[in-house]
Amino acid sequence: MDSQPAPGSGDYVALEARYGARNYQPLPVVVHRALDCLVWDVEGREYIDMMGAYSAVSHGHLHPRLVAAARRQLERVAVTSRAYYGDTLGPFLARLCSLAGFDRALPMNTGAEAVETAIKCARRWGYRVKGIPDGQAEILVARGNFHGRTSTIVGFSSEPEYKAGFGPFAPGFRAFDFGDMASLRAAAGPHTCAVLIETIQGEAGVILPPPGFFRELRDWCTRERVLLIADEVQAGLGRTGRWFAFEHEGIRPDALVLGKALGGGLLPVSAFLADAAVMDVFDPGSHGSTFGGNALAAAVALEGLCVLHEERLVERAAERGPYLLERLHEVQGAARPLIRAVRGRGLWAGVDIDPAHGSARRLVEQLARRGVLSKETHETVNRFAPPLTITPALIDRAVGVFRDVALAAVRTASHSA
């Protein structure tokens, strides 16, 4: 009897297209396995991962210490809910608070859940501590923000595609221009309880703050008795060459949102951190999650923090990030006018594409065909955020392919002009 041929990439793409919701437009790469900075599809083709699952795979795919920690914990207990104490959550929270410099941490699952936790905490702090009349608290958010996909969060997004058809939205948010203190002061009011802000805007295209902005923002929040909440779901845990991106700005926020890399590339783990004076507005029953802080997640996240420290992955990002940016600037010089700008910090870069000369989506499709995985945002920016374990040799290979693809796009545009 003839054996059936093994399913190929087209078969798996067809299955997702047939049975999956149409809320994503993936690149036509069907991942079968991965290890560290490399990925292989079902046909065995090799790719360099220059995206790192939006920083979720900062440790590299299937880091052996994290896999071993998960296996050890799976042989004991994985989930019991927070109805009981466990022997993994406390050690994880203690290590996380020590690293970040906060009194307490509240564990959740996804980054969006951690942001929702921050919103609830800020509002309750506004009512109970600052004395804002009940139901009138307002939070300032930056235009171009990306804090998640819940109905509350998309309601204060400035991107029409994120919110179209999902209203009505929750009130209590006012927008200002990222990096512009005059705009922020104009948006503030007597019932402002917090500023929720990404230290670097990732989804907007890896947008860095102007020099001095966060120092001025920190001083303003202190004077006005407003909480400064830093969303470092993507930027935190070494991505920018420091443990936390706010360290580049010489400030300390009142609260911190973490996720993605916290799960070590194995599990969804997030956390909201603050000092007791802020966090203690929560009392039993006021907030929670069945899976938040589960034993398996805590064990993996604790080992992930140890790996980041002991294997000097934060320092690697600080050392290799400038090299990645240098190589990308070289491509910019060769591929004008296609590439308008290159910006970034640590192992996190955004390459700004001029839509009059090319498409970021077409570039990432061409890169994938040549064995390099990246992702576009808003059709105008190619993002690169490889695992922090990436080597200079792999950076050279990936950027070399990007150079070839960019130069080919420039030639195509000039021929059609």
Positions marked catalytic: 146, 231, 260
Residues 6+ apart with CB under 8 A from 247: none
Q: Which two tokens stand for residue 17?
A: 């297209």
**Antiparallel, parallel or unpaired: β 381-384 and 138-142:** unpaired
Distances in Å between the alpha carbon of 279 and those of 117, 182, 297? 10, 30, 22
Q: Is 397 helix (H, G, I), strand (E, B) or coil?
A: helix
Distances in Å between the alpha carbon of 14 and those of 8, 29, 68? 10, 12, 34
- Sheet arrangement for strand 138-142: 104-108, 270-274, 255-258, 227-231, 192-198, 138-142, 173-176
By C-alpha distance, which of 112, 131, 63 is closest to 305? 63
Q: What angle do CA 215, 221, 226 make, to 5 degrees?
A: 155
Measured CA to CA, the distance from residue 166 to residue 157 in angstroms comes to: 12
* 350 φ, ψ (degrees, to nearest 5): -125, 130
